[in-house]
């Protein structure tokens, strides 16, 4: 490979945007790691910077119209962070618009180094990074984009850009993957390797690998579901419900095996894994309970409403709840007459295969539930398939943007459950010790790897010190260690990358002056670690509403404590993040409970209870960035898995059809 690294617009004026994602410290760190790897491998480095001169105004039109001066030569905002400064011999190319290739200098430099592969990092994903990739493609180069070293502030646009470029053979790789290929003397533009899943309890051990499904595999599975759906939609609702009840029984009988697989594959503590099996069976039974719901309803003589199946539903599910979440989607999809193509998270592959075998044991018709393995590329291919009629996802905001854009472009129904940065308010009239125990368990159980985990605590400042002491004590009481131990509350996190990101978050919070508390002693911490991916349960005290540790969903064992001046301030803090999944209140005051009910901008309210947990009959769905589309579960499943259809019949006495007549 004759490659080159292009660092685009890594300048302070661009990096200081508060809505930049990934956040600036992580973006600069990843770009620095990539820069070091390229230098070590002898890959030429080219720095591209937007440079504006006040005496020769070449600002872009929208900057001039807005009166905006940025990246002015000689100002601090024009400069990169110290970690990304050029070294002697590295070229710096200046531009004033989106493209660095306008005047031809970049092309000349790339020809000088005989470049055939361009590695790109920088900002912004939907603008200058995209322009550079398109210029390189136009010049006949192969392009690799370091996906964790590229930032932006327009996530939907970035998701569209990524799909657009990937369809044109632009490769997206992590900085670690690029560095590993350079170290091995391989081209970073080579074909995608499989996802490698390591044992969270001992990261030296590879459990399995998962390759993305190609287009032919997606065609085959979706095609089978299309055929199965045609027959299934004619099957009586009572028969569908009976099948779900049989599957619920079979899931429960297999509980020991499913629990063991969750412990072994994703390091879910046994007590949490066992509870998840029970919840998955409960979801199926709740779906079956609606087999007697009316499908066709009479509005008035001659006018009725049908609730028709969608057809083939793509269900894309996460690794952290690999039993309950899939069953909570597949069960109602089948009940309401649909076929399902299920794409589990790669880390949950073996668990999904076990559930698939249990479905076959119960008589689920062949090809009615098809399974596709792989990562984001498989999910994109599935969601984009012409014969997929709807997409339901549980995953990250980033995945939600990516798949939501695909579904929107195809005009098919989309449902996204996209995580939560959930807060509990603790007021002075509550049982403070009991509240702390409840919160600590909800924050740190399963190492905080639950979408409903309690990530923030907002405390009446009059009792803040008392509550903090209780939280430290309650956290210390949690058992931290081997997930196979029935007593364990907190096990390892899912991957090396996640562990490292969490430790970076903690170090970053400490570096900004926040108080960081690790309640377990060093002796206790050292015991379970070994080669496991453990992050100690950590409490961060941070009152700043806009601090990164407050605003970002950690999805790990980090609990942020904030002090509130009064209850209005507490509600402002609660609602001050982009997520809106769950919130809880610990107070006996009727007035505060009413204020909480009426003011919390979340989909799930819990009073005197932790943020975690779900009732199979209640709606489960977030507000704001936490959710798109109808909520899941219970009677609410019909809102997504069917479409209403008005029927005008010239037989004016035509009654609505009951499920028993089907």
Q: How far apart are CA 188 and CA 1, in angstroms?
A: 9
Q: How far apart are CA 358 and CA 363, in angstroms?
A: 9
Q: What is the pLDDT of residue 477?
A: 95
In a domain, 212, yes or no: no
Which residue has tokens 């920088």? 122
Residue 391, CB-side half-sphere exposure with 13 Å CA sphere = 31
Q: How far apart are CA 649 and CA 74, in angstroms?
A: 76
Residue 653's pLDDT band (boundaries 50, 70, 90)? low
Contacts with 82 (C-beta within 8 Å, 6 or more apart), sequence order: none
Which residue has tokens 């091995």? 184
In a domain, 203, yes or no: no
99 in Cβ contact with 135 (< 8 Å): yes
Q: Are 457 and 343 members of one domain?
A: no
47 in Cβ contact with 90 (< 8 Å): yes
Q: Are 386 and 434 members of one domain?
A: no
Q: Are 348 and 478 members of one domain?
A: no
**What six digits make up the tokens of 499?**
């562990």
Q: Which residues are catalytic?
A: 417, 451
**What six digits make up the tokens of 534?**
């453990």
Q: Are 490 and 601 members of one domain?
A: yes
Q: What is the pLDDT of residue 646?
A: 95
Range of the domain at 523: 422-607
Q: What is the pLDDT of residue 528?
A: 54
Phi and psi at 386, nearest 5°, equal -65, -25
Q: What is the pLDDT of residue 527?
A: 47
- How far the first Cα of the chain sits from its last, in Å, is 64
* Single residue among 134, 165, 193 that ends a domain in this structure: 193
pLDDT in tens, 298-357: 889 999 999 999 999 999 999 999 999 999 999 999 999 999 999 999 999 999 999 999
In a domain, 439, yes or no: yes
pLDDT in tens, 361-397: 999 999 999 999 999 999 999 999 999 999 999 999 9
In a domain, 218, yes or no: no
Which residue has tokens 């429960």? 252
CATH of the domain at 277: 3.40.605.10
Q: Are 158 and 277 members of one domain?
A: no
**What six digits make up the tokens of 245?**
């009840």
Q: How far apart are CA 561 and CA 548, in angstroms?
A: 13
What is the side-by-side strand order in the sheet with 91-95? 91-95, 45-50, 3-8, 117-123, 142-151, 171-173
Sequential DSSP letters for 229-269: HHHHTTS-HHHHHHHHHHHHHHHHHTHHHHHHHHHHHH---
pLDDT in tens, 234-274: 999 999 999 999 999 999 999 999 999 999 999 999 999 99
If DSSP codes are grouped into helix, strand and coil, which group holds residue 518? coil
Whether 112 has a pLDDT exceeding 90, the answer reads: no
Q: What is the pLDDT of residue 521?
A: 62
Q: Are 468 and 388 members of one domain?
A: no
DSSP secondary structure letter of residue 81: P
**What six digits make up the tokens of 537?**
């349960």
* pLDDT above 70: percentage of residues in the chain: 97
Q: Are 448 and 386 members of one domain?
A: no
CATH of the domain at 495: 3.40.309.10
**What six digits make up the tokens of 122?**
């920088």
In a domain, 201, yes or no: no
Q: What is the pLDDT of residue 106?
A: 82
Q: Are 414 and 427 members of one domain?
A: no
Domain count along the chain: 3
* Single residue among 136, 165, 193 that ends a domain in this structure: 193
Question: Omega into 88 within 30° of 0, i.e. cis?
Answer: no
In a domain, 210, yes or no: no
Q: Are 384 and 248 members of one domain?
A: yes
Q: How far does CA 632 lie from the centroid of its chain?
A: 17
Q: Are 393 and 537 members of one domain?
A: no
pLDDT in tens, 127-167: 999 999 999 999 999 999 999 999 999 988 999 999 999 99
Q: What is the pLDDT of residue 111?
A: 84
CATH of the domain at 163: 3.40.50.850
Burial pattern 449-465, b for ≥16 Cβ within 10 A else e, equals bbbbbbbbbbbbbebbe
Q: What is the pLDDT of residue 43?
A: 95
**Mean pLDDT of the region 582-611:** 98
Q: Are 101 and 157 members of one domain?
A: yes
Tell me the average pLDDT of the chain.
94
Q: Are 438 and 530 members of one domain?
A: yes
In a domain, 101, yes or no: yes
Q: How far apart are CA 210 and CA 197, in angstroms?
A: 8
């Amino acid at each position: 490979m004759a490659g080159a690294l292009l660092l685009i617009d890594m300048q302070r004026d661009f990096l200081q945007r508060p809505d930049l994602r990934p956040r600036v410290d992580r973006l600069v760190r990843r770009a620095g790691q990539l820069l070091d790897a390229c230098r070590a491998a002898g890959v030429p480095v080219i720095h591209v910077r937007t440079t504006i001169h006040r005496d020769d105004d070449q600002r872009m039109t929208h900057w001039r119209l807005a009166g905006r001066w940025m990246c002015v030569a000689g100002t601090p905002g024009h400069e990169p962070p110290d970690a990304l400064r050029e070294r002697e011999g590295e070229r710096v190319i200046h531009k004033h618009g989106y493209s660095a290739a306008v005047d031809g200098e970049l092309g000349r430099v790339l020809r000088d180094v005989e470049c055939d592969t361009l590695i790109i990092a920088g900002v912004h994903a939907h603008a200058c990074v995209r322009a550079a990739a398109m210029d390189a493609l136009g010049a006949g180069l192969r392009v690799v984009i370091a996906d964790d070293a590229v930032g932006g502030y327009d996530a939907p646009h970035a998701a569209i850009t990524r799909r657009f470029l990937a369809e044109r053979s632009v490769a997206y790789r992590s900085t670690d993957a690029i560095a590993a290929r350079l170290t091995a003397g391989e081209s970073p533009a080579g074909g995608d390797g499989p996802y490698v899943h390591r044992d969270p309890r001992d990261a030296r051990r590879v459990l399995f690998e998962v390759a993305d499904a190609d287009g032919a595999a997606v065609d085959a599975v979706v095609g089978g579901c299309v055929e199965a759906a045609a027959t299934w939609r004619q099957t009586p609702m009572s028969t569908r419900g009976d099948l779900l009840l049989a599957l619920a029984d079979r899931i429960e009988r297999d509980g020991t095996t499913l629990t063991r697989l969750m412990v072994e594959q994703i390091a879910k503590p046994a007590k949490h894994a066992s509870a998840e099996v029970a919840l998955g069976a409960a979801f199926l039974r709740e779906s079956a309970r609606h087999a007697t719901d009316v499908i066709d309803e009479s509005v008035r003589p001659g006018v009725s409403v049908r609730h028709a199946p969608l057809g083939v539903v793509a269900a894309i599910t996460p690794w952290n709840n690999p039993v309950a979440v899939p069953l909570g989607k597949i069960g109602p999809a089948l009940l309401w007459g649909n076929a399902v193509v299920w794409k589990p998270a790669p880390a949950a592959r073996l668990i999904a295969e076990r559930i698939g075998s249990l479905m076959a044991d119960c008589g689920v018709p062949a090809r009615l539930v098809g399974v596709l393995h792989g990562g984001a590329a498989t999910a994109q291919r599935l969601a984009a398939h012409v014969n997929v009629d709807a997409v339901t996802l549980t995953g990250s905001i980033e995945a939600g943007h990516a798949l939501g854009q695909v579904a929107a472009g195809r005009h098919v129904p989309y449902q996204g459950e996209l995580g939560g940065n959930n807060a509990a308010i603790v007021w002075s009239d509550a049982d403070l010790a009991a509240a702390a125990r409840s919160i600590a368990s909800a924050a740190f159980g399963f190492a905080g790897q639950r979408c409903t985990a309690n990530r923030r605590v907002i405390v009446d400042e009059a009792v803040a010190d008392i509550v903090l002491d209780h939280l430290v004590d309650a956290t210390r009481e949690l058992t931290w260690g081997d997930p196979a131990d029935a007593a364990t509350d907190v096990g390892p996190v899912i991957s090396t990358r996640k562990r490292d990101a969490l430790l970076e978050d903690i170090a970053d919070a400490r570096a900004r002056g926040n108080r960081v508390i690790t309640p377990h002693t060093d002796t206790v911490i050292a015991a379970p670690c070994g080669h496991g991916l453990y992050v100690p349960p950590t409490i961060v005290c941070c009152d700043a509403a806009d601090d990164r540790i407050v605003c970002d969903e950690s999805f790990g064992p980090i609990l942020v404590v904030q002090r509130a001046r009064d209850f209005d301030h507490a509600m402002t803090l609660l609602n001050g993040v982009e997520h809106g999944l769950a919130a809880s209140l610990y107070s006996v005051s009727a007035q505060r409970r009413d204020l909480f009910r009426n003011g919390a901008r979340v989909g799930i309210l819990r009073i005197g209870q932790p943020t975690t947990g779900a009732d199979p009959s209640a709606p489960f769905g977030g507000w704001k960035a936490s959710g798109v589309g109808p909520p899941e579960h219970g009677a609410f499943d019909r809102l997504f898995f069917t479409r209403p259809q008005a029927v005008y019949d010239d037989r004016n006495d035509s009654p609505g059809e009951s499920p028993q007549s089907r």
